[in-house]
Amino acid sequence: MGSHRRRVVGFNIVLPVLLAASWLGAAPLRASVVDACPFGGIARESLARGIVVPKFEGTNLRTVQLQYGSYTAGTYRITATVRRGSFDGPLVGSPQTAYVFLVPYNMSVAAPVTFDFGGAPVNENDVLTITQTVSGPGDVFFDGGMGTSAVDPAPPLPMVEAYETEDTAPPLSTYRKARVGLTLTQDDLSGGCLPSATALCIDNVPGDRRFEVTMDFDHAPSLHGPAFAVSTAALGVTNGGLFWFFSQRNPEMLVKVLNACSVNQRFWVFFTAGTDVGFTVHVRDTVTGQVKTYVNADNTPALPLQDTDAFVCP
């Protein structure tokens, strides 16, 4: 991306018409550009190539915009997948798909497509990888950004700008060139819980992110660290979520916070964990500041928790 890269804070953005399905549902009122690299207007890069963002400067990922072209007219199904750390790392949100009609290839026009990841949480300065797959009547290419050379002789150091790779082999394939056309945005969040890779935000009313849940694990002799949060909002489940310790494919705990104000003037905290690893769970009410802590001893099968006296309403 070189000197063309930019970061804009507090910028009202209107998302393009070609918008993939949202990870969280409704689009945000405000989003800001985190990374933007000029598009070259010519789509000639194979979708077998990968994209690496070595230093994402946001705390969540709202949208990824790329541009596409094809020599064959028709409707194409294009899916973008974003992961943390490597091409086989943990997913950021869930893969997003757009259905795009492409006209016969025009060398001066590449169609913009915006994939909405719904503000999926990431940690600031995370390495992000982007893979793309397509199905349709012909081959599809993406816009590799400004510049005339198809390949750079050597990567610029330090590697802080987005770059293209030869393929999507883990962990980060092989460097191909520094230029790649894309725009990345994040939600501008304030108040309530701020989602991250290790903080699960749970709603009381839709979108308020009132409750913050974090979890640490400790397993003798030397396995310990923060658990990783998985929002279930993509499924329409905004009152709960999941955590994992060692692999995203292996969830360790389901947790939820329920509004029972009409029952006993309390919010209830329930969780169930399929593990005997030691852990500590912290649930914070961001309105009152109250924190509840729950502990499971190491090498002890975790029992289900049903705390019906966790937080005072409203």
Tokens of 55: 């230093």
Q: Is 101's pLDDT higher than 60?
A: yes
Main-chain phi, psi angles of 42, to 5 degrees: -120, 120
Helix (H) or strand (E) holding 84, with range, is: strand 74-84
Confidence of residue 147 (pLDDT cuts 50, 70, 90): low
Q: Mean pLDDT, to the nearest integer, of 243-268?
A: 96
Residue burial 80-109, b: 16+ Cβ < 10 Å; e: rest: bbbbbebbebbebbbbbebebebeebeeee
pLDDT at 26: 35
* pLDDT tier for residue 18 given thresholds of 50, 70 and 90: very low
> CATH 2.60.120 in the chain, residues?
2-187
More confident residue, 153 or 289: 289
How far apart (Å, rounded) are the C-alpha atoms in residues 268 and 262? 12
Q: Over the chain, what is the mean pLDDT?
A: 86
CATH number, domain 2-187? 2.60.120
- What is the rounded CA–CA span in Å between residue 125 and residue 176? 22
pLDDT tens by residue, 194-205:
888 899 999 999
| The pLDDT of residue 189 | 82
pLDDT at residue 124 in the model: 87
Are the C-beta atoms of 277 and 245 separated by less than 8 Å? Answer: yes
Give the model's pLDDT for residue 151. 65
pLDDT attached to residue 153: 65
